[in-house]
A and B are shown apart, each in its own frame.
Chain A
């Protein structure tokens, strides 16, 4: 390192001789801070998304690197949110990648005291069997001599946090099964 470089690396010198007399910008930078880049700079791609919390519908940019989500920021293009996110929306990275998320199916047997692991395919098969059984047990062709063609054996709650396409399939499948007790947060 030459003397000149050494002097230049001294913040007070840069503050006195450079363009930043108040020492609030370039003069205050250290080597490491000068080399910092935003964590989104190395992203492989930016995926357009929408905040999953309330119904304002703020735009989100999802940054992906090595097939992992590395950051979620407000989308400045959105005419609704103009790049802003609230504390919840700004915490979306933790919501989607945080340690509190469960990644595997859990099962509690009748009268059981603890969770047990169950693989997804087995769980799906068991659930399908239970739907068929509860549907039959609660089936009503008629009520008070009037045709109803329905079951009161199964019910579903939830949908306001889901996509339109998901709600569509839920309503379609359950209606075809004859289930009518299909509800979501809009009732609450």
Chain B
């Protein structure tokens, strides 16, 4: 965190100055470790074993927060008799179909009912619930909902508040993690038992009524074939300890781009519409009612999904969207499975995808298996790159690695390339959503230079031109484009669209055009329009709330008059849980919001993430639905049962509980189970440039004996498009390097400041060698493991140059999120520079041959 989010880390240091203990768990020693009380190096790819070990410690030593667990989690809920755990089936859950590489989750349900997912996959239940749907072949992929919303069947779940029923979630958890002992953690993660026990003690001592512990993570947790289960493991632990919804608690995602949260909320993502409404899948005879019936929850705020959806359709299609035509629901394109960025690359290689826009992203070096990315682009009809400088994704056709190896010839590449210079943040108005869901407006300072334009300008005028060219068309294909509301006011000589007008549409307005102030005002009858329901209120009273800048010094510590956070400017989600079931703070020290009996409302330092006037003693009538069905103690208001889920009965594609699996490529066997890898991880169709490696005890795995991981440095930004071209930053970190321990350097003859060649079954790169104690060898499975640290910022262009670490990485994905496993894979390292020209390709092929790799290696479920 000190390395990649240094200014945010000042708050960790403030906490430390007030007595907080800081623990840093990371294979490498960084600026964070230097300031932490404890640095715990572990093997990359083993975090579920580590977190599971802490869960086991908490459960077997009775260190959980019992009142919180009983009141606010699904710990007391009894599971169906059909459920079988990984402990029963040697590493897989009940419902696995190895042929289709998928789980049927019907055996994971609560006793007596069926729950739909708060997040993730829902389509599997579709047919059963609507009675009319027919799922198209590949639709059974995960669908990330992000923000809650589960349906619950008829009746009430069976509960045992003594937590002793053998099939209650709490007891299932106990059995599931019983073998995650300190000895096992030591053997799998390489963390000595004493050090591990110290972590357990510190975390549990600092949790409970009087104290809270926070976990902060970044892509070191998400970029795995079990990435979602990493986060789930932290969620299980934090829910047991009562650290969610309370000040100083939480599981905090440290995101790496200025508006990566915003681009998830208002998604440029294939599977989502704004506000985490799922993109519709292709089903027979699906109309708006059937869609809402299948996707909305009957309890909690997702119960109002129809209002959110109709308001979005009104924002998109305005007057053309009427009750008679289902508000243009049919105008939305339909999914048939996953269409993520990696499937898009495969579609480019197949020739289906012919045109490609890159807007501020540099996949030629920044995406996993960079070579596949470039080969995909080399098979396009046209490519549009919008960026500040000539990044690698704009120039691969003349100077990319495949030109050097002879695999591509510039004269043979038919891709037409347009480079359009982009405007900087100082040259346009607009809002970023930061990592804590806070929208902040940046004001235009000057006009962009030359032909540089904002992406708002580009998208608006591209749409305008397309609509002009299609005007008068009677082809039903063109109806959605021509019906679109696309009349934003523009300003200045460049005809820049008014960003604030777009924000007003995102916020929403009523039938008279007045701005809305809350998503509770949204209607399902077409009388309101709203571009993103969770952002409703950001333009309340016609004022840009994201531009509020009351100085922090003039506010309390919550500072809720700086910018605007979704939802409803609440700064800590699920903060009803900061008070006990009666509505009193768990402790004075940790008070955040509480029930004011005299005023009969929730009050406190933050805005309550709860209906303001709903008493803690409120019990809904049995026939209530939506938000009305939440009781006064259902703190987790986006969940179907109002509870934090220690166990996920539905919604995840790869299991209801986090289980340790080895990464796709790993030098080690899975010590816990026969099952080596996540059985339902997502692999790409066979391709000679995306080979997987043998793992564990399989012959050939010794060819790639070292674990590698990628990461960032303070002085550069992601794939370098915004940092390698800056002389200041290039001087601070002038070229690609790898970090290795003195022991590994001695073993392989690597010299400090010399060159190393790093090889995987996908590619070969060279890097300057930094011999350092910062990446210490670990003892894993009773032998010494060396790890290789690879900052991934580089490519051949700009002032600071080097090979891209992403050349080494395979495409194997988390099945829920379709995120690639960049953070733990296996490589070989040797001294000297890499071969040039065709010899580079030959070296990789020779490694593949030596390890006995073919198209089936590593692909078994």
A109-127 Cβ-contact flags toward B at 8 Å (1 or 0): 1110111001110011111
Is the pair A100, B798 in contact by a Cβ cutoff of 8 Å?
A: yes
Stretch at the interface among A17-25, A34-42, A62-70: A62-70
Q: How far is the CB of B266 from chain A (nearest CB, A)?
A: 5
B339 CB-CB contact with A under 8 Å: yes
* Docked-complex contact B435 and A120, CB < 8 angstroms: no
For A127, list chain B residues within 8 Å (CB). Answer: 382, 384, 418, 462
Which A154-186 residues have a C-beta within 8 angstroms of B?
154-173, 175-186
For chain B, the bracket of interface size reads 35 or more
Residues of chain A lying within 8 A (CB to CB) of residue B258? 50-55, 57, 160-161
Q: Are A81 and B7 in contact (CB under 8 A)?
A: yes
Interface residues of B in 423-461 (CB under 8 A from A): 424-428, 430-436, 438-447, 449-456, 458-461
Report B616 CB to chain A, min CB distance, Å: 31
| Beta-carbon contact of A103 and B452 below 8 Å | yes
CA distance A156 to B385 in the complex (A): 10
Indicate whether B184 reaches chain A with its CB closer than 8 angstroms.
Answer: no
- The CA-CA distance from A109 to B444 in the complex, in Å, is 34
Q: How far is the CB of A24 from chain B (nearest CB, A)?
A: 28
Residue of B nearest to A79 (CB): B552
Which of B137, B382, B549, B726 is the one whose CB lies under 8 Å from A130? B382
Which residues from A are CB-within-8-Å of B466? 128, 131-132, 177
Which of the residues B316, B461, B535, B717 comes within 8 Å of A124, measured between beta carbons? Answer: B461
- With A85-B7, A94-B726: A79-B562 Cβ-Cβ less than 8 Å: yes
CB contacts (< 8 Å) of A168 on chain B: these are 266, 274, 502, 505-506, 531-532
**Does B341 make an interface contact (CB < 8 A)?**
yes
Q: Which of A47, A85, A131, A167 contacts B262 (CB 8 A)?
A: A167
User: By the criterion CB–CB under 8 Å, are B726 and A164 in contact?
Assistant: no
Binds A, one of B55-63, B150-158, B329-337: B329-337
CA distance A142 to B433 in the complex (A): 37
A56-92 interface bits toward B, Cβ cutoff 8 Å, 1 = contact, 0 = none: 1111101010011100100011111110111111111
Q: Which residues of chain A are near B506, meaning CB under 8 Å? A: 164-165, 168
**Does B818 reach chain A (CB closer than 8 Å)?**
yes
B166 adjacent to chain A (CB < 8 Å): no
Asked whether B421 lies within 8 Å of A175 as measured between CB atoms, the reply is no
A156 and B356 form a contact (CB under 8 A)? yes
Check B503 against A48 for contact (C-beta < 8 Å). no
Q: Quick check: A187 and B341 within 8 Å, CB to CB? A: yes
Contact of B430 among A109, A114, A163 (CB under 8 A): A163
0/1 interface trace, chain B 492-514, chain A, CB 8 Å (1 if under) = 00000101001101100000000
Q: Are A176 and B432 in contact (CB-based, < 8 A)?
A: no
Residues of B within 8 A of A153 (CB): 352-355
* Contact status of A103 and B451, CB under 8 A, knowing A82-B552, A162-B259, A185-B260: yes
B462 touches A131 (CB 8 A): yes
Given known A158-B359, A166-B454, contact A182–B726 (CB-CB < 8 A): no
- Does A167 lie within 8 Å of B263, measured CB to CB? yes
Chain B residues contacting A77 (CB-CB under 8 Å) are: 549, 551-553
Across the interface, which residues of A come within 8 angstroms of B439, CB to CB?
164
Interchain CB contact under 8 A, B268 and A183: yes
Residue of B with least CB distance to A153: B354
Q: Does B215 contact A (CB under 8 A)?
A: no
State whether A185 and B718 are in contact (beta carbons under 8 Å apart), knowing that A50-B258, A149-B333 are contacts in the complex: yes
CB <8 Å contact, A165 and B267: no
Whether A159 contacts B263 by the Cβ 8 Å rule is yes
Contact, CB under 8 Å: A96 / B426:
yes
Contact of B426 among A72, A80, A171, A184 (CB under 8 A): A72
- Given contacts A103-B449, A120-B453, A166-B454, whether A180 and B263 have CB atoms under 8 Å apart is no
**Bound complex: CA of A177 vs CA of B432, how far in Å?**
26
- Take A170-B455, A186-B260 as given contacts and tell me if A181 and B353 are in contact as well, using a CB distance cutoff of 8 Å: yes
Contact A55 B269 (CB under 8 A): no
State A104–B579 Cα separation when bound (angstroms).
Answer: 57
**B477 part of interface (Cβ distance < 8 Å):** yes
Q: B421: which of A54, A103, A172 is its contact (CB, 8 Å)?
A: A103
Chain B residues numbered 798-843 whose CB sits less than 8 Å from any CB in chain A: 798-799, 817-820
Contact with A along B715-741 (1 / 0, CB 8 A): 111100011011111001000000000
Structural contact, A165 and B502, CB atoms closer than 8 A: yes
In the complex, A51→B435 CA distance in Å?
Answer: 13
Whether the Cβ atoms of A167 and B266 lie closer than 8 Å is yes
Among B480, B503, B722, the residue within 8 A (CB) of A161 is B722
Query: How near does chain B come to A98, taking the closest CB pair, in angstroms?
Result: 6
Residues of A within 8 A of B254 (CB): 54-56
Chain B residues positioned under 8 Å from A113 (CB to CB): 398, 410-411
C-alpha gap A64/B447 in the complex (Å):
11
Q: Give the interface SS of chain A, mostly helix, strand, loop or mixed.
A: mixed
A12 in the interface (beta carbon within 8 A): no
User: How many interface contacts (CB-CB < 8 Å) are there between A and B?
Assistant: 487
Q: Please tell me if the beta carbons of B555 and A79 are within 8 angstroms of each other in the complex.
A: yes
Q: Given A176-B480, A181-B347 in contact, is the A89-B7 Cβ separation under 8 Å?
A: yes
Q: Give Cα A126–Cα B481 distance, bound, in whole angstroms.
A: 18
A53 and B717 contacting across the interface, CB-CB below 8 Å: yes
Report the interface size class on chain A: 35 or more
Asked if A101 is at the interface of the complex by the 8 Å CB criterion, the answer is: yes
| CB-based contact A146/B424 at 8 Å | no
Are B552 and A78 in touch, CB under 8 angstroms? yes
List chain A residues, Cβ under 8 A from B344. Answer: 155, 157, 181, 183
A94 and B559 alpha carbons, distance in the complex (Å): 31
* Least distance between B367 CB and chain A CB atoms (Å): 6
Q: Which of B101-109, B122-130, B276-284, B771-779 contacts A (4 or more CB under 8 A)?
A: B276-284
Q: Provide the residues of chain A in CB contact with B330, threshold 8 Å.
A: 147, 149
Contacts of A173 in B (CB 8 A): 459, 462-463, 484, 486
Known pairs A144-B136, A166-B455, A169-B502; A47 contacts B445 (CB<8 A):
yes
| Residue pair B331, A134 in contact (C-beta under 8 Å) | no
Beta-carbon nearest neighbor of B716 in chain A: A88
Beyond A77-B551, A138-B354, is A176–B481 a contact (Cβ under 8 Å)? yes
Question: B416: which of A100, A110, A143, A186 is its contact (CB, 8 Å)?
Answer: A110
Residues of B within 8 A of A171 (CB): 266-268, 273-274
Interface membership of B99, Cβ < 8 A: no
Interfacial chain B residues near A16, Cβ < 8 Å: none
B729 and A91 form a contact (CB under 8 A): yes
Q: How far does the alpha carbon of A132 sit from the alpha carbon of B477 in the complex, in Å?
A: 11
Q: For residue A186, which residues in chain B have a CB less than 8 angstroms away from its CB?
A: 260, 263-264, 267, 269
Residue B381 CB within 8 A of the other chain: yes
Give complex CA distance A67, B562 in Å: 28
Cβ contact within 8 Å between B347 and A152: yes
Interface members, chain B 53-111 (any A CB < 8 Å):
none
Q: In the complex the two chains form, is B7's CB within 8 Å of A160's CB?
A: no
- Near A by CB (< 8 A), chain B positions 365-423 give 366-368, 381-382, 384, 386, 388-390, 394, 397-398, 410-421
B599 proximal to A (CB < 8 A)? no
Distance between B252 CB and nearest chain A CB, rounded to angstroms: 11
Shortest Cβ distance from residue A119 to the other chain B in the assembled complex, whole angstroms: 8
A180 B357 Cβ-Cβ under 8 A: no
Whether A69 contacts B445 in the complex (CB less than 8 A), given A154-B353, A170-B268, A180-B279, comes out as yes
Q: Across the interface, which residues of B come within 8 angstroms of A9, CB to CB? A: none
Closest A residue, CB atoms, query B363? A157
Instruction: With A56-B254, A158-B361 given, name 4 new contacts (CB 8 A).
Output: A86-B7, A98-B726, A156-B358, A164-B506
Q: What are 25 pairs between A and B in contact, CB < 8 Å?
A: A48-B442, A50-B258, A52-B425, A55-B5, A80-B562, A81-B7, A86-B714, A88-B715, A88-B722, A95-B722, A96-B424, A103-B452, A113-B410, A134-B355, A138-B353, A147-B282, A151-B333, A156-B359, A157-B356, A161-B360, A164-B266, A164-B432, A165-B502, A167-B259, A173-B463
Interface residues of A (CB under 8 A from B): 47-60, 62, 64, 67-69, 72, 76-82, 84-92, 94-96, 98, 100-111, 113-115, 118-120, 123-132, 134, 136-139, 141, 143-173, 175-188
Those 5 A-B pairs whose CB atoms lie nearest each other, nearest first: A79-B552, A163-B430, A103-B450, A57-B434, A150-B333
